Structure 1
Amino acid sequence: MTNRTGTTPGPWLPDALPPARDPRTHDGKAIVVRIVAGVLLVPLLMIDMFFIGLSPMATDSCGPDHCSDALNQSLVAAPVFWLAAVAMLLVTWGLPARPRFRAARGWLAVASGGSGLMTIAILVNLPTG
């Protein structure tokens, strides 16, 4: 039996295939960081989204066109921090499970939590209109 190149195939050797997950290039602890970040940050981001949804009511007393610049800047900054937290959490999950990405994965998870907490801090301390 010959293949298209005209050579005969060699015998199949079961040990010739690499292992499914090479322990030298697979980080077994990557899933722990991902799960802990997800369990802690998804509820935090949902709470953030609730407060972001309520935050436009801060402009009821002054109207959206007559509010102070500080209030408008806070109302713009909060969703930006929320989106940054979501993006960092997604990148934490998207990084390959390799040992060389361990530090980046951990720092992204921590930064995502900090950005989520910053969103709440901004919305709790809204300046007066």
Structure 2
Amino acid sequence: MDQGHDTSPDRCAFVAPLLSSLLTLPMGLLAFFSVGLSPMACDSCGDAASDRFDASYGLAFPVFVTGLLLVLAVLVAGWALPWQRRNAARRVGFALLAPAVVVLDYVVFASIVDWP
């Protein structure tokens, strides 16, 4: 039978999403705390620098939260795929994509913010 159409159950289907969840969720939480503490970077800024930082942070924070929702969607997609052998590659792909999206989300946040 062709491996692409193998509908037999995959007994190890939970491994990739589980490992991804165990890595991605703490990464996302750490990134969220880091983003939440970012306004302290401009505590000693002058008025003009503080205004620029606040304006950019006001845009960057919602973008970051939206990115975390995307991370959650990728994790859920990895868990929600039918536990059949034909979905093993997709499941591993989602498992690898989730932590990469956390990193990308933080990089996008850091690039939007006008740091002092």
**TM beyond 0.5:** yes
Q: Is 1:55–1:75's contact at 8 Å kept on the other side of the alignment?
A: no
Matches for 1:1-129 after TM superposition, within 5 Å: 25-57=8-40, 67=53, 71-125=57-111, 126-128=113-115
Q: Is 2:63–2:109's contact at 8 Å kept on the other side of the alignment?
A: no
**1:29: Cα distance to partner?**
2.4
CA deviations over 1:75-99 (Å, ceiling 9, x no partner): 3322121111111112211222111
**Aligned in 2, Cα 1:96/1:114: closer, same or farther, shift over 3 Å?**
same
The 3-state SS of whatever aligns with 2:82 is coil
CA deviations over 1:33-71 (Å, ceiling 9, x no partner): 122112211211111221232245567665997557655
Q: Where does structure 1 differ by over 3 angstroms across 4 or more consecutive aligned residues?
A: 55-73, 122-126
The 3-state SS of whatever aligns with 2:70 is helix
Query: Structure 1 unaligned runs (5+)?
Result: 1-22
When the two structures are superposed, what TM-score results if normalisation uses the length of structure 2? 0.68
Higher helix proportion: 2
CA deviations over 1:99-125 (Å, ceiling 9, x no partner): 122122111112211111123324455
Q: Which has the larger radius of gyration?
A: 1
Q: Is 1:56–1:75's contact at 8 Å kept on the other side of the alignment?
A: no
Q: Is 2:75–2:98's contact at 8 Å kept on the other side of the alignment?
A: yes
* Distance (whole Å) between structure 2 residues aligned to residue 122 and residue 24 of structure 1: 39
**One-letter amino acid matched to 1:39:** L
**Which deviates more from structure 2 when the two are superposed, residues 116-125 or residues 33-42?**
116-125
The 3-state SS of whatever aligns with 2:83 is coil
**Aligned in 2, Cα 1:43/1:96: closer, same or farther, shift over 3 Å?**
same
Query: Identity of counterpart residues, as a percentage?
Result: 22
Higher relative contact order (CA 8 A, sep 6+): 2
